[in-house]
Structure 1
Amino acid sequence: MSIQSNLQQIKTNLPENVTLVAVSKTKPVSDLMEAYEAGQRIFGENKIQEMTEKWQQMPKDIEWHMIGHVQSNKVKYMVPYVKLIHGVDSLKLLKEINRLAVKWRKHINVLLQIYIAEEETKFGLDEKELNEILNSEEVKQMTNITIKGLMGMASFTEDKEQIKREFLHLKSIFDKYKPLNAGNCQLHTLSMGMSGDYELAIECGSTMIRVGSSIFGNR
């Protein structure tokens, strides 16, 4: 199937409240443009240099998301054009994003990454760290970022029940902190689910899915 038909098939069954991020890392601009021509406007990359090169070549109404693990020393390269940073997993990183956003006179939306998997390889905050960040006076004073929600990645396993447990755990944390909405904390987005499990993630309450291979084919 073509990229266009893959997109149409996914979007046909997508609830209105769920945002589709097309994970375009490692894919050529020609593939992204095929998705763009089919109406897709949100693309996710995990390498800043690759995102920069694609940003330079592609239409400027695209919303670029950084979806991979972000190092503090790399933030400066993406601040000019990134719309949403998915994997913010420390106060240090949040401070650096805000500092550079102030410098560039930009406003950047972020998602706080929560550790929900049973794998040591995944990044993320535990609930105690999340609570400290969301209730931090220092964070509340950050003028150039908005915490838009939470994200998490389930374990890489065939066990659907385990994945479901992890998604529901993240949903319960999201529901617990959602009432905090004030100032630069506006928890509207729950980002969970990828090509292999996004339908289950939506069942569990996801409002944003990150889909790559089901759109562009396997890498």
Structure 2
Amino acid sequence: MGISENINEILIDIKKYSPYPEKVSLIAVTKYVDTKVIKEVLAGGAHILGENKVQILTKKQEELIDFPVEHKWHFIGNLQKNKVKYIAHFIDMIHSVNKLSLAQEINKRAKEHNRKIDVLIEINLFEEESKEGYQFTDFLNDIPDLLELENINIKGFMTMAPYTDNEELIRAGFRKLRELKKEMNTLYFNDTLSELSMGMSNDYKIALEEGATLIRVGSKIFE
């Protein structure tokens, strides 16, 4: 199958597996393909593009700036503070806020461009040492300072499941993130948290069943 057929299959899966498909967006992870292929992705109906390296993202953004199909850019990788300035003028969402100092830098750079940037808090739910993300207790400690940042919109949470065949472990983690969003909405965020970024090519169906609103799919689109 081609790219557009694969995208269509994922869009069908969203309707099939999500309890609220109208709230779900597909992020096409384009980190391994060039802008020629990205144009096929956009033509195939996926209009949010996910990248994880700033230098490659800025190059692709410039190459596609005049492309007639409307699209958005999401940053989904580990973001270094000194790289925020290169994407702050155009990025639509940053999925990987994992410390207060990074949130403060995004806020500072957004203010310079008179913007508010949507962000997600990355939580290391599975507590894997190899994965980035806030430890939950650290996030709780930082909430008062995070809420003071006026040029970012904290929209929800992101997590990455471990590489495992244990679907129950994956499902339990995704469910925990959904419950965390509900709890944090009640305690601190006044129901402003709407997004859950979870699920990739190998586990997005489970993520959809557990309430994902953003799924990050790469290899499934290009296989």
Question: Who is 2:195 aligned against?
Answer: 189
Counterpart pick for 1:52 among 49, 54, 58: 58
In 2, are the aligned partners of 1:146 and 1:186 still within 8 Å (CA)? no
Larger mean CA deviation between 6-15 and 124-133 belongs to 124-133
Distance 2:97 2:208 in 1: 22
CA positional deviation for 1:119: 2.4
Question: Who is 1:104 aligned against?
Answer: 113
TM-score normalised according to structure 2 size: 0.91
Unpaired runs of 5+ in structure 1?
none
Aligned: 1:37 with 2:47 = no
In 2, are the aligned partners of 1:80 and 1:104 still within 8 Å (CA)? yes
Deviations 1:1-49 (A, max 9, x none): 1001000111122122211100000211111100111222100000111
Q: Give me the identity figure in percent.
A: 38
Counterpart pick for 1:212 among 210, 215, 218: 218
CA positional deviation for 1:181: 3.3
In 1, are the aligned partners of 2:110 and 2:117 still within 8 Å (CA)? yes
In 1, are the aligned partners of 2:107 and 2:152 still within 8 Å (CA)? yes
CA positional deviation for 1:162: 1.2
Distance 2:189 2:179 in 1: 16
CA positional deviation for 1:107: 1.6
CA positional deviation for 1:118: 4.7
Question: Who is 1:12 aligned against?
Answer: 12
Question: Who is 2:17 aligned against?
Answer: none
Question: Who is 1:128 aligned against?
Answer: 137
Distance 1:69 1:77 in 2: 14
Deviations 1:169-207 (A, max 9, x none): 21221111123335xx82100111000000001111111
TM-score normalised according to structure 1 size: 0.92
Counterpart pick for 1:164 among 160, 163, 171: 171
Deviations 1:46-65 (A, max 9, x none): 01111111111113731100
Aligned: 1:139 with 2:146 = yes
Q: CA RMSD in A?
A: 1.5
What SS is found at the alignment partner of 1:85? strand
Question: Who is 1:178 aligned against?
Answer: 185
Distance 2:57 2:33 in 1: 11
Counterpart pick for 1:155 among 153, 159, 162: 162
What SS is found at the alignment partner of 1:187? coil
